[in-house]
Structure 1
Amino acid sequence: MVKQDQLWPGGFRFFFDDGLFQPGTDSFLLGSFPRLRRGARVCDLGAGTGLLGLLLLAREPSLQVTNVELQEAAVELARQNAALNGLSDRVANLRVDLRDKTRLPPAGTFDLVVSNPPYFDAARGAVAKGTERGLARADCTCTLPQLCAAAARLLRHGGSFCLVFRVERMAELFACLQSCTLEPKRLRLVQNTAQSAPKLLLLEARKGGKPGLSVAAPLLLRGPDGGESEELAQIYFRDKE
């Protein structure tokens, strides 16, 4: 069912389909993570309904965003979201299989590539195949090496690839990135509380970057009282309510 929500009162509105891509904390976390420059050219690989692009544009309105998504229904909602917010001149929506380099934008086009990719390896049987939600959660149509290769191709030299991913696959992620000349440069782990083990990571890798990884303090979702942390509240734009 298609529903509508808003980032904050007076902020961007967006459609989503709860049978496709529901707005999740991971998208908001990733939306807060990249270092954005005025006028930067941004590509979201596996963009779904385009929420991540809206989150980035809410932080830096001068961005030029290209959404790449395979599922037709999601692409149509992404187009509607751009039009709904008067962003059709800043957001391009492409229905493209990111494994098909002949249909992707030219190599070296983007300053920043972002992705909230499927977390699970379909070959391990973690998620049912053949469903729209399964495609969003498991790499049935695009493996981690294929994603990293697409990001590396689209980035200019010195450009950044930022993504959110599962901590349990960190070693695999680093190996895939480095095999594509994407050097991990900035890492932040995401924890529910200060005492809990991290399950998610936020990572920036740089095309052609030199070795050297900085690790930030963990991002805590809950404060000492068990309520939403102050940082998470800002990520969700609560300070604008």
Structure 2
Amino acid sequence: MSKLEQLGPYQLEQRPGVFPLGSDALALGRFATVRKGWRVCDLGTGSGVLLLLLATREPQLELFGLDQDPATAVLAQDNLGRNGLEGQIWTGSWSQAPFSPGSFDLVVSNPPYYAPGSGKDGGPARMEREELDTLCRAASRLLRNGGRFALSFPTQRMVDLFEVMRRWDLEPKRLKLLSHTPTKPPYALLVEGVRQGKPGLQVLPCLE
């Protein structure tokens, strides 16, 4: 049975079989840099929640999304429509993103990030279906020079993430660790890279 979640001025419909709204998505929606008039692409958009969250911060965005599951892509398109937002959601893999190279200012992703066979309790919806390398390569191809790539990822794979981002010319520039309390270790990280950016990483406070 579907349910509605209020996100600022917008309503997010959630349906069975689509990964539910989580704290990392909410945090990423607050974290990513966004500017008026930017073209934004969400890789693995799911219900379209990140597009709604970014639109609450800056209504004048061009919104695009990609998800490999057709039913999920339909839900994301429906969520844009129900809130009066224009945008296009496509079905396909990251490596087959149907957009021109260098056509976006911002790419975001809250990907399934547990490696298959790792034993992590994320369930099938949280297991990687495409490799991290494929995701970063796709983001780099879609971004203009100076464009930004923001995503969430598990802290234990931070080194892997930074290595792959740099491989595809996405320089990590902003980092935020997510922790429920000051005494608990971070459960995830948010990172934003700049295509062809200069080295220099800003580490933000865990708790706001």
Same fold (TM over 0.5): yes
Deviation readout 1:7-46 (Å, 9 max, x if unpaired): 14xx201211243211111110000001211100100000
- Percent of matched pairs sharing the same residue: 42
2:147 alignment partner in structure 1: 159
1:48 alignment partner in structure 2: 46
54-63 or 73-82, larger mean C-alpha shift: 73-82
Instruction: Report SS of the residue matched to 1:99.
Output: helix
Unaligned runs of 5+ in 2: none
Unaligned runs of 5+ in 1: 220-230, 232-241
Is 1:115 equivalent to 2:113 in the alignment?
Answer: no
Q: Tell me which structure has the larger Cα radius of gyration.
A: 1
1:37 pairs, out of 32, 35, 39, with: 35
1:183-194 equivalences in 2 (<5 Å): 183-194=171-182
Which letter does structure 1 place at the counterpart of 2:3?
K
Is the CA contact 1:127–1:138 (under 8 Å) kept in the aligned structure 2? no
With the length of structure 2 as denominator, give the TM-score of the two structures.
0.95
With the length of structure 1 as denominator, give the TM-score of the two structures.
0.82
Deviation at 1:123, TM superposition (A): 4.0
1:222 alignment partner in structure 2: none
Instruction: Report SS of the residue matched to 1:145.
Output: helix
Distance 1:210 1:7 in 2: 35
1:209 alignment partner in structure 2: 197
1:223 alignment partner in structure 2: none
Give 4+ residue runs of structure 1 displaced > 6 Å after superposition. Answer: none
Deviation readout 1:169-211 (Å, 9 max, x if unpaired): 0000000100001110111111111121111111110100111
2:77 alignment partner in structure 1: 79
Deviation at 1:70, TM superposition (A): 0.7
Q: How many residues align?
A: 208
1:124 alignment partner in structure 2: 118
2:14 alignment partner in structure 1: 16
Instruction: Report SS of the residue matched to 1:32.
Output: helix
25-34 or 15-24, larger mean C-alpha shift: 15-24
Which letter does structure 2 place at the counterpart of 1:25?
S
